[in-house]
């Protein structure tokens, strides 16, 4: 893929998959792996639940949602992925040939799909950076397992305020800042937390009225972190 633009390579270099690999070396890796490049429009299905895999994917551009349907037929967002994120990294180490969730685009997107046999490969024929690539993939897999565990925590909580408080505190712990940007739209956050959008909006307004938070669009400011901790039943170190 020698004709790939420097801009595209730069976007990919921001991916955890290519951490500690130089931009020019990413080009060499792609020349060896020869990924399939697919472009999608907004709200287009990339893969349905139970569909056979094309290999693992990496979001070269855009934003996608990994979703499941509840027993009641409601959509639950498991994860939202943006440029540089890796899709279905667990398949490298799995015997399962089907992808469990349904994946849809949230905006115009472009994905690279890597054949598993090429990615794992024969160590004699792979790129010199292959060991770094596989090490990065293992770290991504570990991070994703942690994310799924956190998702299970969200789904197990029935109280809307507790669920929302834990989510906001998670963002606070990641950034260390009480001024937060929610990385998804309101309806996406509702699907992610598995609550209705009206219930989410109502709870946000109640928490603002009580002086716990303030918000505008996707911007949220934690005004009273002690009250937020009490709502979540956890204490932030």
Residue 96 and residue 193 in one domain: no
Among 99, 121, 144, the domain boundary falls at 144
The verdict on residue 182 lying in a domain is: yes
Residue 172 and residue 119 in one domain: no
Say if residues 67 and 77 touch (Cβ distance below 8 Å). Answer: yes
Say if residues 167 and 174 touch (Cβ distance below 8 Å). Answer: no
Q: Can you give the pLDDT at residue 236?
A: 45
CATH code: domain of residue 119:
2.60.120.10
CATH code: domain of residue 202:
1.10.10.10
- Report which of 60, 55, 123, 50 is spatially closest to residue 90, judged by C-alpha positions: 55
Among 144, 169, 200, the domain boundary falls at 144
Residue 120 and residue 27 in one domain: yes
For residue range 30-64, list pLDDT tens digits in order. 888 888 889 999 999 998 877 776 578 889 899 99
Residue 165 and residue 123 in one domain: no
Q: Into how many domains does the chain fold? A: 2
Residue 139 and residue 57 in one domain: yes
C-alpha span between 93 and 59 (Å, rounded): 20
The verdict on residue 152 lying in a domain is: no
Residue 41 and residue 131 in one domain: yes
Phi, then psi, of 109 in degrees rounded to 5: -140, 160
Which structural domain range is residue 87 located in? Answer: 6-144
The verdict on residue 223 lying in a domain is: yes
For residue range 124-181, list pLDDT tens digits in order. 556 667 788 888 888 887 777 777 777 777 777 889 999 999 999 989 988 889 999 9
Instruction: Say if residue 17's pLDDT is above 90.
Output: no
Categorize the per-residue pLDDT at 94 as very low, low, confident or very high, splitting at 50, 70 and 90.
Answer: low
Q: Is the pTM of this model over 0.85?
A: no
The verdict on residue 150 lying in a domain is: no
Residue 37 and residue 132 in one domain: yes
Residue 39 and residue 128 in one domain: yes
Say if residues 17 and 90 touch (Cβ distance below 8 Å). Answer: no
């Amino acid at each position: 893929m020698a004709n790939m633009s420097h801009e595209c390579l730069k976007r990919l270099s921001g991916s955890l998959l290519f951490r500690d690999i130089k931009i020019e070396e990413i080009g060499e890796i792609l020349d060896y792996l020869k990924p399939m490049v697919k472009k999608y429009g907004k709200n287009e299905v990339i893969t349905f639940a139970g569909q056979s895999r094309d290999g693992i994917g990496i979001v070269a551009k855009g934003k996608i949602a990994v979703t499941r349907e509840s027993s009641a037929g409601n959509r639950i967002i498991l994860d939202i992925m943006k440029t540089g994120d890796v899709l279905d990294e667990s398949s490298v180490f799995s015997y399962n040939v089907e992808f469990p969730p349904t994946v849809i685009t949230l905006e115009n997107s472009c994905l690279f799909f890597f054949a598993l046999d090429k990615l794992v490969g024969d160590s004699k024929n792979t790129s010199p950076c292959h060991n770094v690539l596989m090490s990065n993939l293992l770290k991504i897999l570990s991070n994703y397992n942690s994310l799924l565990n956190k998702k299970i925590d969200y789904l197990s909580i029935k109280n809307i305020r507790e669920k929302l408080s834990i989510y906001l505190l998670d963002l606070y712990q990641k950034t260390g800042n009480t001024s937060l940007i929610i990385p998804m739209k309101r309806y996406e956050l509702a699907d992610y937390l598995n609550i209705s959008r009206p219930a989410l909006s109502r709870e946000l307004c109640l928490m603002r009225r009580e002086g716990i938070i303030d918000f505008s669009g996707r911007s949220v400011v934690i005004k009273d972190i002690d009250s937020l901790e009490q709502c979540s039943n956890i204490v932030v170190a």
